Amino acid sequence: MVVSPWSLSVLLVDDVSLNRDIVARMLSGLGHRAETVPTGSDALERGRQQVFDLVLMDVHMPGLDGLETTRCWRDPAAGLLDPDTPVIALTADGRPVGRTLALQAGMNGCLTKPVGLAQLSGAIDLAISLQLERGIDLAPNPALLRPLLDAADPAVSRGLLAGYARIRVDWRSQERQRLLGSLHALKGCAGQTGMARIQARVERLETRVWQGGWPSRRAIRALGRVIRSVNA
């Protein structure tokens, strides 16, 4: 599943707290910002106070149900800041008639509970498409900036220590080109795992070698201490 380049502000409306918590966690994992409310009335109140990129609306709720809430949301006289916000239904009713009723109420789509990540991602993609078509500016997704590797992963730890060992060998043998290669490789690994301290320290050593200098024993040992402290 591809992570979206955009981060949406999502209003999640569901009268069941566990459902709200689960879907909110899923949204957060995909890099989106979720605000949750338990009733249709609460949703309309929030829509009068804040603009959202997407509303995920439970259909069956006490009081105002999801269909009636959406009709109110779409009504220009209701005072919503953005009456055209994409609204997608959340329902346990997977029958075609349920989808038809949702669309007739002004919703843009329908998700059948239990909602999976693939389903949710598809709804996000639809909302992004609708927002971009309207010329709405979207925030970049911070999930794209997360390291793909975990610094606590034993394989990553071994890789960092092995990379440092190669640097020490190349430094002792005065192999400039090999040292540059080893430094570059370790810098990339540190950057991939989000270890900025190691990355910055290696980059300084790499720059010094590129400029014709040579790292001191103290600098090489300091790099080793930083790596070992991360892996401790």
- Residues 67 and 116 placed together within one structural domain of the fold: yes
By the 8 A CB rule, do 148 and 192 touch? yes
C-alpha span between 104 and 189 (Å, rounded): 52
Q: Tell me the one-letter amino acid at 75.
A: D
- Residues 139 and 223 placed together within one structural domain of the fold: no
- Residues 133 and 69 placed together within one structural domain of the fold: yes
By the 8 A CB rule, do 40 and 69 touch? yes
Token pair, residue 41, equals 């009335």
Please give the tally of structural domains in the chain.
2
By the 8 A CB rule, do 132 and 138 touch? yes
CB count within 10 Å of CB 6 equals 21
- Residues 158 and 205 placed together within one structural domain of the fold: yes
Element (H, E) at 11: strand 9-13
DSSP conformation class of 76: G
In 3D space, the residue among 162, 170, 163 whose CA is nearest the CA of residue 209 turns out to be: 170
- Residues 119 and 158 placed together within one structural domain of the fold: no
- Residues 205 and 96 placed together within one structural domain of the fold: no
- Residues 73 and 181 placed together within one structural domain of the fold: no
By the 8 A CB rule, do 39 and 15 touch? yes
94 belongs to a structural domain = yes
DSSP conformation class of 52: -
- Residues 140 and 25 placed together within one structural domain of the fold: yes
- SS3 label, residue 7: strand
- Residues 42 and 125 placed together within one structural domain of the fold: yes
- Residues 56 and 103 placed together within one structural domain of the fold: yes
Domain that holds residue 165: 154-231
- Residues 175 and 127 placed together within one structural domain of the fold: no
Name 201's Cβ contacts closer than 8 Å, sequence gap at least 6.
222, 223, 226
- Residues 137 and 196 placed together within one structural domain of the fold: no
Could you give the strand order of the β-sheet that contains 9-13, starting from the edge strand earlier in sequence? 33-37, 9-13, 54-58, 87-91, 109-112
Last residue of a domain, one of 144, 167, 186: 144
pTM of the model: 0.65
By the 8 A CB rule, do 86 and 133 touch? no
22 belongs to a structural domain = yes
Token pair, residue 217, equals 């024993």
Instruction: Return per-residue pLDDT of the chain as tens, 232 residues.
Output: 556 789 999 999 999 898 899 999 999 988 899 999 999 999 999 999 999 999 999 999 999 999 999 999 999 999 999 999 999 999 887 777 788 999 999 999 999 888 888 899 999 999 999 999 999 999 888 766 555 555 566 777 888 899 999 999 999 999 899 999 999 888 877 876 767 788 889 999 999 999 999 999 999 999 999 888 876 5
Question: For the domain that residue 108 is a member of, what is the CATH number?
Answer: 3.40.50.2300
